[in-house]
Structure 1
């Protein structure tokens, strides 16, 4: 206690915390988890420096314990990576389209939301569907406890502590009680799954009742989602993406690369798959080419609105899911080119491929089994030097070829002496 009091007095003397925050507060109730308890005691000082009222802090930290469900979920790595075709098949379903059209007809606030933000209802329906099943699957985790568990584990400590402080600020403001702040194990809340800091900065009172209630008010939740997309750069009236075709012998190393106008891409043989002309807004936009399932699957030009969707969840698959649902709500047809038959890759194969790329001089970063931008970029570079189609698609055949080539590398004497 003396150490905590001294620290508070030093911080007060330096002008880093207010007189109220310089008060000593009791340590949190011991949870029985030594790592969690040590973290909680240290966090209190940081929360005081951030301006959290000592009374609020002491009340909310009292009795706080780690949630073993959150700890398990955060450390769980899926054994198999679901192919994008399987993911989208599970996302863009007739049930979601039928329910979305029905729920969309019930949201009276959509015209006002679109007028204010430029975001059309069909995109918001796609977000609503994926984030919470149109509000039916919001999660019942105590947000403060979830974030405390993540912070104590240490893997994402700075982020989790920042979100904890945002949660405490919501409580301190009186806008929402802690009992209302429930959501997913990762701290996302409400019908549109906002993390606490995003709630503070971006949530809106769309229904005008004086509260930003993203849990019980669909208007508030959807208006808040539209505000997030607008802040991320949503362009009114522009497409999110369009399916395109590429010519034989196309240089797939251009995928996930330059952002250029459709005319620039047309000079390289990239045209709309449906044969329609570009709208004026789309024709002037800078778009990026992607081939999510490689050269054998459908290709897309991604417009700036696609990347606005990724401000919600920085995943190509997620943004494609939202956009394809939106197209479905508009009555757009299926893709012109079908997804290829894809094989799920086990974690060990994904990590082995990453290690092989690094050994061969094409470092993709830490071998974490996540086939992200770094892995795809390295894979494209390796494919290009081997005379392969440089589409950056990690298939089972590519994994086997990488393993074989890396295993043939000469070893350094004594390297395996302890194996």
Structure 2
């Protein structure tokens, strides 16, 4: 987290600036979108800045790459697939599959998105609606719209949240969010609610807070709208021979699945790739480089990433969905002991690679596929086997 003013007087002065920003910038935008003064005043009554949120940039300060990682996506990949998380999501997902079979089937018929995939997202986002969502959405989005590294984005979300309140989609007590401002059981950002929230139970409302049918229908519609390809899977765990470089990873280096098979990439199950998949495009995914499971994924995997821009998130959703429906077990390959670096360490490596001409996707401290394969290419240029993942031992050479 960035350093923020500890002095109470400084914070009081910034609070005054925040209140002025609400009056001068947010109210005119909200009014133009049809928000009443009554709704606006109720939303911000007694609201103070939340100094505990991540990535804050108070007025007069300079953004920095945070040292701490707040989400598991930024740490060790193995932790994201903890025994407890997998078992809970699978066990409860099977119960939900039975309890809500009708709306799941209806959503699949309407959108082409399998029920198991909807369940995977629902479980990950809110533990099927049982997770506590503690934050006031207006405080979160107000704080982050006023002073964060993505202020313009969060300001747009704040306006959308006010529109939701004005329309009466949920009682004020339900306008709780995550620390990032996401709402309800599917954890939609407010703009996504306005675009994709769907009435799944036919009562005339799209209630993602209290209706399981609406939650299911809304998740399915989101994925359909982002390009889910009906009839295709999300991906397959594979073995990648040493002759196939991990630098071939990424959604911009696709091949027909039959071509991957021709160079030795095989499913861990020993079964051939399905007939309807072999002529279609697939992509190599190695989220821990050579230090973990490998996959051939389809375009549907990247639709899952549109829900949350994390390879591990999309992988978790697909994997849990398979466990729910097919009773599949753990991944065949084990996660290696990698990750756990500070984001600032990874960002320093990324900047060093950029100076060498590599496209790492930005020096944000997050080891995405562009960073992973850039590390692999750098390793190969030094005559080393490519492992395609940032490691502590690389810090001295990449700085």
Within 5 A, what are the aligned runs for 1:247-258? 247-256=241-250, 257-258=252-253
Q: Which residue of 2 aligns with 1:127?
A: 121
Q: Which residue of 2 aligns with 1:307?
A: 302
Q: What is the distance in 1 between the residues matched to 2:89 and 2:124?
A: 9
Aligned with 1:36 (options 14, 18, 27): 18
Cα displacement (A) at 1:377: 4.0
Return closer, same or farther for 1:382/1:137 CA change in 2, 3 Å cut-off: same
Q: What is the distance in 2 between the residues matched to 1:120 and 1:353?
A: 40
TM-score (norm 1): 0.81
What whole-Å deviation, never above 9, does each CA across 1:11-62 have from its counterpart, x for those lacking one? Answer: xxxxxxxxxxxxxxxxxxx997133123212222233344434454344344
Q: Which residue of 1 aligns with 2:147?
A: 153
Q: Which residue of 2 aligns with 1:21?
A: none
Aligned with 2:180 (options 186, 200, 225): 186
Q: What is the distance in 2 between the residues matched to 1:104 and 1:302?
A: 25
Pair 1:96 & 2:78 matched: no
Unaligned 5+ segments in structure 1 are 1-29, 407-419
Within 5 A, what are the aligned runs for 1:141-290? 141-256=135-250, 257-290=252-285
| Paired residue secondary structure (1:345) | coil
Q: Is the 8 A contact 1:357 1:378 kept in 2?
A: yes
Unaligned 5+ segments in structure 2 are 1-11, 58-65
| Paired residue secondary structure (1:335) | coil
Q: What is the distance in 2 between the residues matched to 1:230 and 1:368?
A: 30
Pair 1:353 & 2:349 matched: yes
Q: Is the 8 A contact 1:92 1:325 kept in 2?
A: no
Q: Higher RCO, 1 or 2 (CA under 8 Å, sep at least 6)?
A: 2
| Paired residue secondary structure (2:390) | coil
Q: Is the 8 A contact 2:266 2:272 kept in 1?
A: no
What whole-Å deviation, never above 9, does each CA across 1:246-281 have from its counterpart, x for those lacking one? Answer: 223222221114112111212222122212122233
Q: What is the distance in 2 between the residues matched to 1:366 and 1:291?
A: 19
Cα displacement (A) at 1:67: 2.7
Aligned with 1:388 (options 366, 371, 384): 384
Q: What is the distance in 2 between the residues matched to 1:74 and 1:281?
A: 48
Q: Which residue of 2 aligns with 1:410?
A: none
Cα displacement (A) at 1:318: 0.3
Q: What is the distance in 2 between the residues matched to 1:364 and 1:178?
A: 43
Q: What is the distance in 2 between the residues matched to 1:135 and 1:324?
A: 20
Q: Which residue of 2 aligns with 1:22?
A: none
Cα displacement (A) at 1:393: 1.2
Return closer, same or farther for 1:362/1:113 CA change in 2, 3 Å cut-off: closer
The higher radius of gyration belongs to: 1
| Paired residue secondary structure (1:295) | helix
Q: Is the 8 A contact 1:255 1:391 kept in 2?
A: no
Q: Is the 8 A contact 1:35 1:152 kept in 2?
A: no
Alignment: residue pair count: 373
Aligned with 2:290 (options 267, 276, 295): 295
Return closer, same or farther for 1:352/1:273 CA change in 2, 3 Å cut-off: same
Pair 1:48 & 2:31 matched: yes
Q: Which residue of 2 aligns with 1:334?
A: 330
Q: Is the 8 A contact 2:290 2:387 kept in 1?
A: yes
Cα displacement (A) at 1:367: 4.1
Q: What is the distance in 1 between the residues matched to 2:345 and 2:154?
A: 31
| Paired residue secondary structure (1:287) | strand
What whole-Å deviation, never above 9, does each CA across 1:364-400 have from its counterpart, x for those lacking one? Answer: 4654422234422432331231122334211233334
| Paired residue secondary structure (1:36) | helix
Return closer, same or farther for 1:72/1:261 CA change in 2, 3 Å cut-off: closer
Q: Is the 8 A contact 1:252 1:389 kept in 2?
A: no
Cα displacement (A) at 1:72: 4.7
Q: Is the 8 A contact 1:376 1:392 kept in 2?
A: yes
